[in-house]
Structure 1
């Protein structure tokens, strides 16, 4: 019988909500950014565990004194897109509040350069993106060589236009891009997921939320799609679920299939960590790991959301994390316990996969990220 090591490893000791981590083969470093509200932070480290002890820190953008990027800078993501570093983030106008949230882009140095060392410029909103729609949590990825921006937005009104005050429903939208900062002409944003399942809603009448989309593809290519977060991020009921891409036109809702149950949620025994959500993914030596935020106490709300890491295993039907967040630990050796891998390989193959995770956690010499 193959067992699954469900241990949930602490990555950061402090509040780092909506964590986004990527690895650069050029600089041989990992980079972390997260929601900090007044700034876009950027941390770098030689290994994932160094984010807990000795990261290099430095914000690359501060909220403006006033105007459309003056508060609530949410969920930044650092992406290398066609040769250049970009950061996508949401921001609001402090004079208006949450309903003014829109997506913005920062342009940085060349992908081959150190993001901390180069100049960053504010590029504004995605050119051609409808600025009438509330939008947060943007992420970019390619399907068949075409670039897309997926984000969480308020729905269209029945009589036309966009909802501009009702905060009760968030859907996932997909926008085709011509390049990293330009929407494709003649292609409207398409709604590809709406929170219709009971587990996507907070209680019977609470907000129904789909947000935090992240592209995920199996190393074999047999499954690809999105992992998104649902329910309410400020509660212990936050969780992650899947949206499989079936092929065809990505802008057609019929090209996507929602999972029948959450990928990751609170444990059934009532123990923490709590509210696992807004994750991203890394491939290391044949292993796939999810990085997400969760709290230590069920009453923490939107505070103390620290970055954690848990294995993701691939089955014939797609990604699986056992359904529930594992017991939290700071013990790297416990996380790496080789006797409980969910792997069909053995001997040299399994040792190679273990080396990939050791290199990612303890040091990057020889680390090879498959990228996501």
Structure 2
């Protein structure tokens, strides 16, 4: 069935509970695996389809926070990746005795990529080897560009050429580094995105935040880049924008900040009519056979929900000559699954 090419399509509520920072991947067996921020554990839900994910997924954690130490609380934004033949989970975690400023990125190693990741076993491999552990870091993601592996994450900036900021929580930038293998850094991180636009900040000029990077590429390959979230995730001002990857001649490819072009406007934000949901952000993307390219993101029912009630939603993305398009705003609710299917397909 052909898809309607509407830029501001409706959205479907995937979960009816708090599931912030949703990450969904489709394995080689065709099954979908869903994980999200649960703070004291790394959940993994399994479903055979989007419909089953909505109504009756297999639920359960694959790893729980340690009682003490560097992974004892605030397990944030886990991502499940099949990389070079093995399953990995990349996640941020903090030390309960220290709090948020101790957030660093960690990696779990799982079974072979052709096996069921929920079955495990999973082992903590530690932080990414060679990654500077003096830097606060969250929201790491892994992708390949020209057959080389890269790791992109959100971090606090440098004070100078030697030291990282360790006490401010109101400025986050995007960094990228090359990986030698799925758990080993091969280069120093490079800052590729600073929250310089007013829409990347809170209205009072604080909360200058870029986070939640995700690699996105059009099926035709004419557009490649990163979709990221900006402003504050605990407010209605949270939104998503893009960095198009356009390598400059004679540059260092992905490790050259000049290779990344920020969008003029957000890709997705609150509706201009004041209707919810609110604060759409931290999205991930799938190319599904029947639905085309879809975005999964979290958003709240009420603008006063702050960081509670961030439910996972799904919305279509349209590809244009200029790149990804979602009409700029959250679409109206599609209601139940049957209504979603009816609205996005030609009868």
Q: TM-score, normalised by structure 1?
A: 0.88
Partner of 2:9: 6
Q: Distance in 2 between matches of 1:32 and 1:330?
A: 21
Deviates more, 1:17-26 or 1:209-218: 17-26
Ranges in structure 1 where 5+ consecutive residues have no aligned partner: 342-349, 352-372
Q: How many residues align?
A: 339
- In structure 2, relative to structure 1, the CA distance for the partners of 1:113 and 1:203 (3 Å cut) is same
Deviation at 1:2, TM superposition (A): 5.8
* Cα shift readout 1:83-135 (whole Å, capped 9, x = no counterpart): 10000000000111100000000000001101111200000000000000000
**Is 1:293–2:295 an aligned residue pair?**
no
Deviation at 1:334, TM superposition (A): 2.9
Q: Distance in 2 between matches of 1:335 and 1:113?
A: 32
Deviation at 1:5, TM superposition (A): 5.4
Partner of 2:50: 48
Write out aligned runs for 1:9-158 (5 A): 9-26=12-29, 28-158=30-160
Q: Is the CA contact 1:93–1:100 (under 8 Å) kept in the aligned structure 2?
A: yes
Ranges in structure 2 where 5+ consecutive residues have no aligned partner: none
- Structure 2 SS opposite 1:250: helix
Q: Distance in 2 between matches of 1:220 and 1:337?
A: 27
* Cα shift readout 1:286-307 (whole Å, capped 9, x = no counterpart): 7110000011111111001010
Deviation at 1:4, TM superposition (A): 3.8
Partner of 1:189: 189
**Is 1:273–2:280 an aligned residue pair?**
no
Q: Is the CA contact 2:155–2:172 (under 8 Å) kept in the aligned structure 1?
A: yes
Deviation at 1:328, TM superposition (A): 1.9
Q: Is the CA contact 1:135–1:152 (under 8 Å) kept in the aligned structure 2?
A: yes
Decide which of 317, 329, 333 is 1:324's aligned counterpart.
Answer: 329
Partner of 1:334: 339
Deviation at 1:60, TM superposition (A): 1.2
Q: Is the CA contact 1:5–1:335 (under 8 Å) kept in the aligned structure 2?
A: no
- Structure 1 SS opposite 2:258: helix
- Structure 2 SS opposite 1:79: strand
Q: Is the CA contact 2:8–2:329 (under 8 Å) kept in the aligned structure 1?
A: no
Deviation at 1:159, TM superposition (A): 5.9
* Cα shift readout 1:150-183 (whole Å, capped 9, x = no counterpart): 0000001126310001111100000100010001
Q: TM-score, normalised by structure 2?
A: 0.95
Q: Distance in 2 between matches of 1:191 and 1:81?
A: 24
- Structure 1 SS opposite 2:105: strand
Q: Is the CA contact 1:5–1:337 (under 8 Å) kept in the aligned structure 2?
A: no
Q: Distance in 1 between matches of 2:96 and 2:129?
A: 23
Q: Distance in 2 between matches of 1:3 and 1:214?
A: 23
Partner of 1:368: none
Q: Distance in 1 between matches of 2:24 and 2:5?
A: 29
- Structure 1 SS opposite 2:308: coil
Q: Is the CA contact 1:15–1:305 (under 8 Å) kept in the aligned structure 2?
A: yes
Deviation at 1:337, TM superposition (A): 3.5
